[in-house]
C-alpha cells in the first residue's frame, strides 16, 4: 500500500456515522493513528473545523489524549476545550467505561458471554408460570441486566493531563456565571458526572446549583423555578428572554404554552436549535401565529449563513415535521447553502448509479449525493443509472425533491454491466474528467468496466474515478483501475446520509494530492 493509499483509507473511515456508538469507531480511529500518527493529528485538527459528525470529533480527542506519540496529547487537549460539556462527559465516560459484571453476578468471576447466558437462564426460569404483566416486567429486568453485563468503553483511567485540563475547563465556566448557568441548563447531568466522576471539587456556585439544589438569586436556574411556578405568560416571556432559557428545558416546566411564551422561546433560539425543534414548534401551533411564524422564518434565514448549522439536519427536521410548501423550500435552501459552503466542483463530472439487483441503497444514495453534487457543480454534470444498459437521468433542479422526481420509476433489478454508461458516453462523445460511481463493484454482463474505461481513456479523455461503495461491495473495479493505471478513490458508505457531506471535500479539489496537502498544512490547535 502506498502512502497516499494509506491516507485515503484514513479518510474513508470518516464516512461512517455510528450514531453515538463510540465503541464501533474506536478500533477504526486507533488503527488510523497507529498507521500514520502525524497525519492523524493534522486530520483531527482539519476535521474539527470541516467535519460534521460529532462522534468522530469525540473519538479524535479520545485517541489523541490517550496516545504516547509526541505532541498528540497537546492537540487532543486543545480540541477537548472546544467541545461543549455534554461531549466532554461522553469522552470521559467512554474512557472510563462500565463494569462487565452484572448486578446479579456471583462472587465467581464470569466472562461477559457466560454472564449473559446465566442471566438469560434466570430470566427463562422467572418467565415460567407467570402472568403476562409479570412476564413483561421480567423480560425488561433481564434486558437491563444484560445491558449492564455488556462492557462499554475502554475501562481505563482518565489521564492526569486530561483531568487537569477538564478542571481548568470547568473553572473557566465557573468564573463566568452566565456561561456556567447556560451550561447547566443544557447539560446538567453531564456537568455533575464530570465533577463527581473525576473528583473535582466544585466551586461555590457549582456546589449550590448542581449538588445543593439551592441556586443563587441571580442564577438562570432560579429564574427557571420562577417560570415554572408562574401562570403569568407575560412574566414567563420576560424571564425566558432575559435568561435565554433553552426551548427543550422550558417546555418541560411550562404547563400552558401561550403565543407570548412561544415567541420568547423562538427569539432565544439559535438557528440550529430552531431547525432541531421545527416539529415540536409545529405541534404547538407556532406556525398558526403570523408573528411567531415570521420569527421562525427569520431564524431559518440566518441558518443559511451560519457555519455551525449541519447541512442535512434541516432536511431531516423538515421530514420529521411533515414540512411542505414555503417551509419545506426554506429548509431545502438551508441544506443547499450549507452544501455550497463546502466548495465547488470545477471539473466536468459523471455520476453513475447502479440500479441492478439489490441496489436500492445505491439509488437512495444517488438521490442524496446527486442533490449535493449538482448544487455545487460549475461544469457539465452527466447522470446515468445503469443495469445492463444506461438510463439517462434528466434533473430539472438541484433540490432533493427534483432528484427524487427525476429518479421516479428507477427501481433496482436485473444483471449488471458497470461499463454500460461509460461506453454510451464515449459513443455520444461526452467528455468528463471525473466519474463518481455508486455501486457494489459487481458485474456480470458486457460491456465490462475495464473494457469501457480503457476505451474511454484512449478515445475521449483521461479520468479520475471515485467509487462510493454500498451494500456488500467487492473491489473488482478498483483492481481494474490499478491494472489500467487510472487514478481512483474508493469509499465505503456504511453510515447514514449525514456523513455524505464528508465526501464533498474529496470531490471539489482538482486532485487528491491537493486535499491531502491541505490537511497536512492545517495548523494544529494550541491550548489556551
pLDDT of residue 120: 41
pLDDT of residue 327: 82
Answer whether residue 422 shows pLDDT above 90.
Answer: yes
From the number of C-beta atoms within 10 Å of its C-beta (0-12, 13-18, 19+), residue 293 rates as middle
Reported as a single tens digit per residue, the pLDDT across 269-309 is 888 888 888 888 888 888 889 999 999 989 888 888 887 77
Answer whether residue 101 shows pLDDT above 60.
Answer: no
Query: 101 or 148: which carries more pLDDT confidence?
Result: 148
Query: 316 or 451: which carries more pLDDT confidence?
Result: 451
Mean pLDDT of 434-461: 95
First to last CA, the chain: 39
Reported as a single tens digit per residue, the pLDDT across 234-274 is 999 999 999 989 888 888 888 888 999 999 999 988 888 88
The H or E element containing residue 183 is helix 177-197
DSSP at 211: I
The H or E element containing residue 225 is helix 220-229
Answer whether residue 2 shows pLDDT above 70.
Answer: no
Answer whether residue 443 shows pLDDT above 70.
Answer: yes
323 contact partners, CB below 8 Å, separation of at least 6: 278, 282, 317, 331
Taken as a whole, the chain contains a residue count of 528
CA distance 90 to 208: 24
Reported as a single tens digit per residue, the pLDDT across 470-520 is 988 899 999 999 999 998 888 888 766 666 777 777 788 766 778 888 889
Answer whether residue 442 shows pLDDT above 80.
Answer: yes
Q: Which fold has domain 349-509?
A: Rossmann fold (3.40.50)
Backbone angles phi, psi at 100, to 5 degrees: -85, -5
Answer whether residue 91 shows pLDDT above 90.
Answer: yes
Answer whether residue 314 shows pLDDT above 70.
Answer: yes
The H or E element containing residue 103 is none
Answer whether residue 126 shows pLDDT above 50.
Answer: no
Summarize the chain as % helix, strand, coil (round to 5): 60, 5, 35
Query: 364 or 501: which carries more pLDDT confidence?
Result: 364
pLDDT of residue 460: 95
pLDDT of residue 100: 41
Rounded percentage of the chain residues whose pLDDT exceeds 70? 84
- 182 and 220 in contact (C-beta within 8 Å)? yes
Reported as a single tens digit per residue, the pLDDT across 388-399 is 999 999 988 777
Answer whether residue 119 shows pLDDT above 60.
Answer: no
b vs e for 257-285, b when ≥16 Cβ sit within 10 Å of the residue's Cβ?
Answer: bebbbbbbbbebbbbbebbbbbeebbebe
Give me the chain's average pLDDT, please: 84
Whose cell is 462492557? That residue is 151
Mean pLDDT of 132-143: 58
pLDDT of residue 46: 92
DSSP at 58: H
pLDDT of residue 106: 34
Whose cell is 432565544? That residue is 268
Mean pLDDT of 90-112: 60
- 152 and 23 in contact (C-beta within 8 Å)? yes
E-assigned strands of 252-291?
none
Mean pLDDT of 43-65: 90
Query: Which SS3 state, helix, strand or coil, does residue 16 take?
Result: coil
Reported as a single tens digit per residue, the pLDDT across 335-357 is 777 777 777 888 899 999 999 98
Query: 486 or 322: which carries more pLDDT confidence?
Result: 486
Entry pTM = 0.75
Amino acid at each position: 500500500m502506498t502512502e497516499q493509499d494509506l491516507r485515503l483509507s484514513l479518510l474513508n473511515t470518516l464516512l461512517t456515522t455510528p450514531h453515538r456508538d463510540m465503541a464501533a469507531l474506536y478500533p477504526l480511529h486507533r488503527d488510523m493513528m497507529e498507521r500514520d500518527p502525524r497525519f492523524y493529528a493534522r486530520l483531527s485538527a482539519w476535521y474539527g473545523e470541516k467535519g460534521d459528525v460529532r462522534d468522530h470529533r469525540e473519538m479524535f480527542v479520545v485517541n489523541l489524549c490517550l496516545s504516547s506519540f509526541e505532541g498528540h496529547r497537546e492537540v487532543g487537549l486543545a480540541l477537548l476545550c472546544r467541545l461543549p460539556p455534554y461531549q466532554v462527559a461522553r469522552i470521559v465516560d467512554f474512557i472510563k467505561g462500565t463494569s462487565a459484571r452484572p448486578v446479579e453476578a456471583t462472587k465467581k468471576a464470569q466472562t461477559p458471554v457466560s454472564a449473559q447466558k446465566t442471566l438469560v437462564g434466570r430470566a427463562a426460569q422467572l418467565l415460567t408460570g407467570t402472568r403476562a404483566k409479570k412476564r413483561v416486567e421480567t423480560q425488561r429486568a433481564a434486558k437491563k441486566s444484560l445491558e449492564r453485563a455488556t462492557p462499554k468503553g475502554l475501562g481505563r483511567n482518565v489521564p492526569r493531563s486530561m483531568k487537569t485540563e477538564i478542571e481548568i475547563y470547568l473553572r473557566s465556566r465557573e468564573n463566568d456565571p452566565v456561561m456556567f448557568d447556560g451550561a447547566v441548563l443544557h447539560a446538567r447531568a453531564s456537568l455533575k458526572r464530570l465533577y463527581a466522576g473525576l473528583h473535582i471539587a466544585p466551586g461555590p456556585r457549582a456546589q449550590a446549583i448542581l449538588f445543593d439544589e439551592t441556586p443563587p438569586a441571580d442564577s438562570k436556574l432560579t429564574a427557571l423555578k420562577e417560570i415554572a411556578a408562574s401562570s403569568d405568560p407575560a412574566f414567563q416571556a420576560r424571564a425566558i428572554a432575559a435568561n435565554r432559557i433553552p426551548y427543550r428545558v422550558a417546555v418541560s416546566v411550562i404547563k400552558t404554552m401561550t403565543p407570548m411564551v412561544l415567541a420568547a422561546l423562538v427569539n432565544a433560539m439559535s438557528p440550529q436549535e430552531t431547525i432541531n425543534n421545527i416539529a415540536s414548534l409545529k405541534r404547538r401551533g407556532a406556525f398558526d401565529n403570523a408573528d411567531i411564524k415570521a420569527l421562525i422564518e427569520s431564524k431559518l434565514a440566518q441558518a443559511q449563513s451560519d457555519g455551525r448549522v449541519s447541512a442535512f439536519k434541516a432536511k431531516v427536521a423538515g421530514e420529521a415535521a411533515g414540512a411542505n410548501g414555503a417551509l419545506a423550500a426554506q429548509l431545502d435552501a438551508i441544506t443547499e447553502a450549507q452544501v455550497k459552503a463546502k466548495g465547488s466542483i470545477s471539473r466536468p463530472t459523471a455520476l453513475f448509479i447502479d440500479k441492478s439487483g439489490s441496489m436500492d441503497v445505491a439509488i437512495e444514495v444517488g438521490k442524496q449525493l446527486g442533490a449535493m453534487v449538482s448544487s455545487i457543480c460549475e461544469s457539465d454534470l452527466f447522470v446515468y443509472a445503469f443495469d445492463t444498459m444506461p438510463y439517462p437521468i434528466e434533473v430539472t433542479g438541484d433540490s432533493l425533491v427534483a432528484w427524487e422526481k427525476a429518479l421516479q420509476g428507477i427501481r433496482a433489478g436485473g444483471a449488471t454491466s458497470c461499463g454500460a454508461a461509460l461506453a454510451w458516453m464515449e459513443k455520444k462523445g461526452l467528455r468528463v474528467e471525473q466519474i463518481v460511481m455508486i455501486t457494489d463493484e459487481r458485474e456480470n454482463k458486457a460491456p465490462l468496466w475495464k473494457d469501457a474505461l480503457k476505451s474511454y481513456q484512449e478515445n475521449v479523455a483521461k479520468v479520475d474515478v471515485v467509487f462510493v461503495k454500498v451494500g456488500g461491495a467487492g473491489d473488482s473495479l478498483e483492481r481494474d483501475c490499478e491494472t489500467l493505471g487510472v487514478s481512483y478513490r474508493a469509499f465505503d458508505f456504511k453510515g447514514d446520509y449525514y456523513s455524505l457531506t464528508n465526501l464533498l471535500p474529496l470531490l471539489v479539489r482538482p486532485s487528491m494530492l491537493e486535499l491531502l496537502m491541505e490537511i497536512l498544512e492545517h495548523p494544529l490547535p494550541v491550548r489556551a
